[in-house]
Chain A
Amino acid sequence: MMDIFLTVFSATFFVTIIRTTTPLLLATLGGLVADLSGALNVALEGMMLIGCLTAVIVSVYAPWYVAVLAGLGVGGLLGAMMAFFAYRLKADIILVGFAVNILAAGGTVFALALATGGDKGTSINLQSQAIPAVDLSFLSAIPGIGPILTAFLSGHSVLSWLAAFLVFAVWYFLFRTPWGLWLRGVGEYPGAPEAAGIPVAKVRTWSLVVSGALAGLGGAQLAMFNYVGFTRDMTAGRGFIALGAVLLGARHPVGALLAALLFGTFEAFAVVLPGLFNWMPAELIRMIPFVVTIAALVLFSIRAQRALAMRGVK
């Protein structure tokens, strides 16, 4: 038991949680933006995966930040493609999303093979780069809490800090800028912004572009920091977990942060637990996030029903 406490409350475990949370959080924010604009973005998984591969390949030839931007860009491009098919050609957005996922699963392996000259498994023949960690070791100069601060705050990915900032930025954008108002209006009742002369199609398209860009950024973090390099299917369902986190987070950026943190913590636990609990089967540990998503979905729905019932509506 002591082991768990030591592990769980250690700075390293905290750093692990931040690392596992970051890609999830970025994708969750992406899912949130799409969701509030009225589109359930089931393609987060595929967007992340393509973001991973793009970032890795670009990082071979360009500085890390260009690679991150490329991951972001390709995600945005996929979002634009979804918008084109869903809004211009009137395809069902769920089906378009799954098409993107299928495209990603096959297309990344195919593209990887082209880029590496035949490898269909991993990119380790490519000299891809990592996103630098932010070194705050100078904080340890602060007397007393300095070393603790350093242990907890130093060594996170640049994108982890960016993701934390993006929680605030997305909140600010959604609730404090005119465009956020437009986006939420489009999601809730498109007739209103349309009549107000707001280009609804454009707002929706941009929402998906932003959604994809954030998912692509999450992919870049996954493939340039959590693990440096690409392997097939390396997102391993994180995009779908992010989708659950959007709903779990009550469609609010802060909720998204908390939900992503919850799942990130579970992922970190899944890594730490086998070291501590050898009896616990790996398969069951891997089920945890999915079970939690369903449980959360059900609990949330029950709460919503209760709230209605309390007001006298059966």
Chain B
Amino acid sequence: MSMFSSFTKVAAGFLMSASIVAAAVPAIAADYTKDNPMKVALVLHGTLGDKSFFDDAAEGMKAAEADLPVSVKIIELGYDRSKWEAGLADAADSGYDVIIAGTFDMTGYITELSPQYPDVKFIDFDDTPDFSKCECKNVLGVQYTTAAAGYLAGYAAAKISKSGTLGTILGMEFPTVTDFKTGFDQGAKAANPNVNILNAVAGAFNDPAKGKEIALAQINQGADVVFPIAGGTGIGSLQAVKDSGKLAVGVDSDQATIFAGSDPAQAEVIFTSVLKKVGNSLHQALKATIDGTAPYGTRQLLGIKDNAVGIAKNQWYEKLVPADVRAEVDAIEQKIISGEIVVATDMK
């Protein structure tokens, strides 16, 4: 009994301190210092360790903590959808200044919660609320035109493909996923009008064995460059590419670099990755928040020129992609930035 009551005391203490902090949320951005940092929660509707999307966001938080007066708590809600809303609400209720959550899975909850917590700022990355329909003055939507980066990777892939057959593997079909492919297909066709692009939908983001089988099937059907856009499922596809000695395009983060330490052979086949620089963009958004320049209440659509998307130009890119192709890719990149080439996108 005594043990229990001591718990209650601790809890009461915790709650009290939390409410004091909540009451003392400073309105003026300049107040934040290293000793009185802006309190940020990165709420992931999943877990860390996906080696792409969520991990990249977490990397961005680390970078932000290094050079900004922020303290970040990463909250992993897991894969039980019925707990996501509750988890986000709990974060909003726990005295954070900024809550970061991503994708359309969380947008609805952000839309509902933001009017209830007007003093808390919300960053909705990789999706956006419909600002015409909601009272979301404290929400910042951050979206990425990944099609443009996909275009670059598709161009390079078609150029280095010997068979003229490419494979794409989607985890599921929704715009943030298909946008990669939309750009990739355009780029590939631009490089080689006769290119044959195989496509498969795995139906899951967490079935690597299946991702591996699908990639093997595509390779068997002639594909020599595979582009999995499928989270954990895609990790399996990369393994198939490694085993078959073909080439792959990574997704979201620089996957070759991620594998370099634990599995160098895996890194050797990923000639580039289509980067959705989530971490980088969030880092920027936090900086802008502290500066007071972040356009809350609107959506930001970030592209190549914002350094929010792109392809990884690392040592493997240098090694596996011939210099002339690299030069062409750089030229195209400039044309996209200048608007000379317009890449169709699924992001509206």
Q: Do A and B bind each other?
A: yes
Decide if B212 touches A227 in the complex (CB within 8 Å): yes
Complex Cα–Cα for A19 and B243 (A): 14
Known contacts A226-B212, A282-B201; is-contact A124 B263 (Cβ 8 Å) = yes
Q: Identify which of residues 236-278 in chain B touch chain A, using a CB-to-CB cut-off of 8 Å.
A: 236, 239, 258-259, 262-263
Complex Cα–Cα for A126 and B235 (A): 13
Chain A residues within 8 Å of B218, by CB: 275
B216 at the binding interface (Cβ < 8 Å): yes
A278 at the binding interface (Cβ < 8 Å): yes
B116 at the binding interface (Cβ < 8 Å): no
Q: Identify which of residues 223-270 in chain A touch chain B, using a CB-to-CB cut-off of 8 Å.
A: 226-229, 231-234, 236, 267-268, 270
Chain B nearest Cβ from A123, distance in angstroms: 8
B49 at the binding interface (Cβ < 8 Å): yes
Decide if B198 touches A282 in the complex (CB within 8 Å): no
Known contacts A236-B207, A275-B198; is-contact A229 B216 (Cβ 8 Å) = no
Decide if A118 touches B49 in the complex (CB within 8 Å): yes
Q: B206 touches which one: A222, A232, A271, A286 (CB < 8 A)?
A: A232
Q: A282 touches which one: B79, B203, B208, B212 (CB < 8 A)?
A: B203
Chain B residues within 8 Å of A283, by CB: 203
B139 at the binding interface (Cβ < 8 Å): no
B134 at the binding interface (Cβ < 8 Å): no
B232 at the binding interface (Cβ < 8 Å): yes
Known contacts A124-B262, A227-B236, A271-B213; is-contact A119 B49 (Cβ 8 Å) = yes
Chain B nearest Cβ from A267, distance in angstroms: 8
Mask, A200-231, CB within 8 Å of B = 1, is 00000000000000000000001000111101
Q: B203 touches which one: A120, A226, A286 (CB < 8 A)?
A: A286
B40 at the binding interface (Cβ < 8 Å): no
Q: B209 touches which one: A119, A234, A272, A278 (CB < 8 A)?
A: A234
Complex Cα–Cα for A121 and B78 (A): 9
Chain A nearest Cβ from B124, distance in angstroms: 22
Decide if B206 touches A127 in the complex (CB within 8 Å): no
Decide if A121 touches B46 in the complex (CB within 8 Å): yes
Chain A residue with the shortest CB-CB distance to B200: A274
Known contacts A121-B48, A122-B49; is-contact A229 B235 (Cβ 8 Å) = yes
Give the size category of A's interface with B. Answer: 35 or more
Complex Cα–Cα for A270 and B207 (A): 13
Complex Cα–Cα for A285 and B200 (A): 12
Decide if B262 touches A127 in the complex (CB within 8 Å): yes
Report how many residues on chain B are interfacial, defined by Cβ distance under 8 Å.
38
Decide if B47 touches A120 in the complex (CB within 8 Å): yes
B50 at the binding interface (Cβ < 8 Å): yes
Complex Cα–Cα for A21 and B206 (A): 20
Chain A residue with the shortest CB-CB distance to B167: A275
Chain B nearest Cβ from A9, distance in angstroms: 13
Chain A nearest Cβ from B198, distance in angstroms: 6
Decide if B214 touches A122 in the complex (CB within 8 Å): no
Chain A residues within 8 Å of B119, by CB: none
Complex Cα–Cα for A163 and B186 (A): 46
Decide if B209 touches A222 in the complex (CB within 8 Å): yes
Chain A residues within 8 Å of B79, by CB: 232
Chain B residues within 8 Å of A126, by CB: 262
Decide if A121 touches B232 in the complex (CB within 8 Å): yes
Known contacts A116-B49, A271-B214; is-contact A121 B206 (Cβ 8 Å) = yes
Chain A residues within 8 Å of B221, by CB: 7, 275
Chain A residues within 8 Å of B258, by CB: 124
Decide if B217 touches A121 in the complex (CB within 8 Å): no
Counting chain B CB atoms within 10 Å of each CB, the highest count among A16, A119, A271, A283 belongs to A271
Known contacts A124-B235, A227-B208, A275-B218; is-contact A268 B199 (Cβ 8 Å) = no
Decide if A275 touches B48 in the complex (CB within 8 Å): no
Complex Cα–Cα for A232 and B208 (A): 10
Q: Identify which of residues 213-239 in chain B touch chain A, using a CB-to-CB cut-off of 8 Å.
A: 213-214, 216-218, 220-221, 232, 235-236, 239
Decide if B49 touches A125 in the complex (CB within 8 Å): yes
Complex Cα–Cα for A271 and B342 (A): 35
Complex Cα–Cα for A234 and B235 (A): 13
Given contacts A120-B48, A278-B199, 15 further A-B contacts (CB under 8 A): A12-B220, A16-B213, A120-B49, A122-B49, A124-B235, A124-B263, A222-B209, A229-B208, A231-B235, A232-B206, A234-B206, A236-B204, A271-B217, A272-B217, A275-B218
Q: List 6 A-B contacts (CB under 8 A).
A: A121-B49, A122-B49, A122-B235, A229-B239, A232-B47, A275-B218
**9 nearest CB pairs, A to B:** A119-B49, A282-B203, A120-B47, A121-B49, A271-B213, A227-B209, A274-B200, A227-B208, A226-B209
